Amino acid sequence: MNNLEQRLLFINKIRTFFAQNQFISVDSPPIVDNPGMEPHIHPFQVNDKYLHTSPEFRMKEVLAKTGLSSIYSLGYCFRKEPQSPIHRTQFLMLEWYRTHSSLLNLINDISNLCTYLTGSEVELKVSSMKEIFLEFLEIDILEYITVESIQKLLTEKFPSLLPNNKENLYWDDYFFLLFLNHIEPKLKKYPYLIITDFPAPLSALAEISELDKRVAKRFEFYVNGVEVANAFHELRDVAEQGYRFKKYQEQKQSEYDYTLPWPNRFLENLEHLPQSVGIALGVERLFGELTRQKEIFWD
């Protein structure tokens, strides 16, 4: 079986898995007014609109305007980013949502999906971000939740990681200097890893934990040390989401000298979003790690 045939059968099996689990397929329009507000993700412009970087906004609109409780989308997304063995400007995104569910339901979905795709039982290791930092750096990252504290941490213990303009960095910049250099390269120790309970400054579109305000209710899924998926317990507070988007808009302007249109349509729909959890998964990355294929893209 050649690479292309194996890839096509892999994608077909994903669709079969979701059909067998009573998910409804959603086709999201790829040209949108707003492609997403994440400050470090850059869209392609098409006239006065954009190619979507994720179907997230429109999928949440489906949940807000219908009675559907389990939906998924499998299609191409588009982002301006450097090409690498695991990055392309166009790539297949699998995204699915469950209403009135928890992140544990999504973790079970991942386990069941990978077991279905590989034909053998998959065991997930689940650790919080705090536990991961303690394991590899002996640092409680939740003790460094402010910009000042995490900047001081890097200045005192990891000065070689800092650029010259360290005073102009945001919290997430400091965090990823640590994570990408000292944590992520070691994650291949675990074949299947879920990292939960992200620090609150990385909350994005996720709720903050009621038990610990320093923690966001989100997780990421790694296979052989490669980030494959990102999940949120979806935030429904329109004022809070608007506040975060304003901060992201300021950060994008500061770091990249441009902004995107305000996501009025998304925020209007957010008022009607039922309690939901959602996850976005890079299909080609999962294909490469589960099949050990080096050529993962069909482009």
Joined tokens for residue 296: 């993962």
Burial class (CB in 10 A: 0-12, 13-18, 19+), 24: middle
Distances (CA, A) of 299 to 13, 76, 226, 284, 287: 21, 12, 21, 12, 15
Evaluate whether 42 touches 256 at the Cβ level (below 8 Å).
yes
- Average per-residue pLDDT in the chain? 96
What's the confidence (pLDDT) of residue 299?
Answer: 76
Q: Which pLDDT band, with edges at 50, 70 and 90, does 166 fall under? A: low
pLDDT digits (tens, 9 = 90+) for 233-261: 999 999 999 999 999 999 999 999 999 99
Given a cut of 90, whether residue 298 has pLDDT beyond it is no
Q: Which pLDDT band, with edges at 50, 70 and 90, does 106 fall under? A: very high
What does the domain layout of the chain look like in residue ranges? 3-291
Rounding to the nearest 10 degrees, give the CA dihedral for residues 265, 270, 276, 282.
30
Rg of the chain over all Cα atoms, to the nearest angstrom: 19
pLDDT digits (tens, 9 = 90+) for 176-231: 999 999 999 999 999 999 999 999 999 999 999 999 999 999 999 999 999 999 99
Could you tell me which residues are beta bridge partners of residue 277? 98, 233
Given a cut of 90, whether residue 293 has pLDDT beyond it is no
The model's pTM is 0.95
Given a cut of 80, whether residue 1 has pLDDT beyond it is no
Q: What's the CATH number for 3-291?
A: 3.30.930.10
pLDDT digits (tens, 9 = 90+) for 38-74: 999 999 999 999 999 999 999 999 999 999 999 999 9
